[in-house]
Amino acid sequence: MNTKNAKIAVVTGAGSGIGRAVAVELLDAGWSVALAGRRPETLAETAALGPDGACLAVRTDVSKPEDVAALFAAAVERFGRVDLLFNNAGTFGPGGVPVEELPYEAWRHVVDTNLNGAFLCAQAAFRQMKAQDPRGGRIINNGSISAHTPRPLSVAYTSTKHALTGLTKSLSLDGRAYGIAVGQIDIGNAATDMTARMETGALQANGEIAPEPVMDVADVARTVRHMAELPLEANVQFATVMATAMPYIGRG
C-alpha cells in the first residue's frame, strides 16, 4: 500500500474494543495507523484487519513516559508525521467497590492509565504537531458518559473521566495557536467485551440490577472518523454517542 499521502493516526488502546473499531475504520478510509496497547498479540490481530503496510504496532504502557516517547518516535520514523491522536486507552478498575474499601493501588492504576496516560500522549502529540511541516493536527479524547454522570461505585473511573473533560478544554485552548484541534467523544454502552455485563445487568442508582441497551461499536468508530476528517479550521468540541434507550437522560 502506498502510504505517502495518507493521513497518520496514533490510536491508543488499539488491541480491542473501541480502539480496534476506530483503527479499522480509519484504515478502511485510507489512513495509516500506529497501534498502541499493552498486549502485542492483540495489536497484531488489529493490524491484520488493515491493508499491508498501513499499520505499525507498538507495545505501549501509556502510563510510562518512556513508552509514550517511544511510540511517537516510532510513528514519526515510520510515517513521517502525526495528524491524529485518538486518546483512548483506559481501564474501569475494580467494579462495585465502595469508596471506603477501594485500595489506593487500584485508584492509582486507574488514574495513571486514564488521566496520566492521556496527558502523556497529548503532550507527545503536541510536541510533534507543533514541530512538523505542515504544522498542526487533531487530538480526540475518549471521555465517556461518566465524564458527565457517574455509575454507582465507580469513584476512580468517574473522577478520571471528569478530569479528562478539563484536559480536553485546556488542550483545545492551548492548541489554537498551533493549528491543533482538540475534542472529546463521550460514549455510552458501545458493545465491546468491556461492556458485555451491561446487557445482563448493571447496578443502577436506585440499587437495582437491570440490563441496559447497547449500540454497535461501529457507530462510535464512524463518529470518530467524522471528527477526525474535518478540516483543522473546524472542530467537534464535545460529542455524545450513546445507546438511544440507555438510562442516562432524565430518569432513564
What is the chain's length?
A: 252
pLDDT at 2: 42
Residue by residue, what is the 3-state secondary structure of 178-239?
A: HCEEEEEEEEECECCHHHHHHHHCEECCCCCEECCCCECHHHHHHHHHHHHCCCCCCCCCEE
Q: Give the per-residue pLDDT at 120.
A: 98
CA dihedral of residues 47, 59, 127, 159 (deg, nearest 10):
100
Question: pTM of the prediction?
Answer: 0.94
What was the pLDDT predicted at 252? 57
Give catalytic status of residue 178 as yes or no.
no
- Other beta carbons less than 10 A from residue 137's beta carbon: 27
C-alpha 159/C-alpha 165 separation (Å) is 10
- The domains found in the chain, sorted by start residue, are 8-242 (3.40.50.720)
Question: What is the spatial distance between Cα 173 and Cα 151, in angstroms, rounded to a whole number?
Answer: 30
Q: Which of 104, 157, 178, 248 is catalytic?
A: 157
C-beta atoms surrounding 227 within 10 Å: 21
- Helix (H/G/I), strand (E/B), else coil: 94: coil
Residue 37's beta-bridge partner residues? 59
pLDDT per residue as tens, the chain (252 positions)? 444 568 999 999 999 999 999 999 999 999 999 999 999 999 999 999 999 999 999 999 999 999 999 999 999 999 999 999 999 999 999 878 999 999 999 999 999 999 999 999 999 999 999 999 999 999 999 999 999 999 889 999 999 999 999 999 999 999 999 999 999 999 999 988 767 777 788 888 888 888 888 999 999 999 999 999 999 999 999 999 999 999 888 755
